Structure 1
Amino acid sequence: MSTDWIRSSHSGGAGGDCVEVRSGPREIRVRDSKRITGPELAFPASAWATFVAALGGGG
């Protein structure tokens, strides 16, 4: 799994209201950038691809 978190380009800038994701071979993790030591959500990579495709991002 990558140790690098990627911040959403659609998240608010100066206010810090951001969502970050980190990908691995089998799962995607999502967290709130304001709470980097807080909980993370984990999704199977296939479910994440379906979610992104449904948003129009193409997977």
Structure 2
Amino acid sequence: MSAGEKAKAKTEQVVGKAVRKTAHAMGKETTAAKGAALETRGRARGAKEKAKGRFGH
């Protein structure tokens, strides 16, 4: 897993979680959904990079 991609994945997860929780607390469900999507995208990116690392690509 490259360091750059790993950082992107972790950043997306952290930012998405922060956006989701803040927006949910403020009652902005549309923005909360966007934050959840960002968090999920970060998790998917991390999983993809881990899989690439396991197979030596």
TM-score, structure 1 as length reference: 0.27
Which protein, 1 or 2, shows the higher relative CO under an 8 Å CA cutoff with sep ≥ 6? 2
Query: Which structure has the highest helix share of the two?
Result: 2
TM-score, structure 2 as length reference: 0.28
Which has the larger Rg? 2
Query: Which structure has the highest strand share of the two?
Result: 1
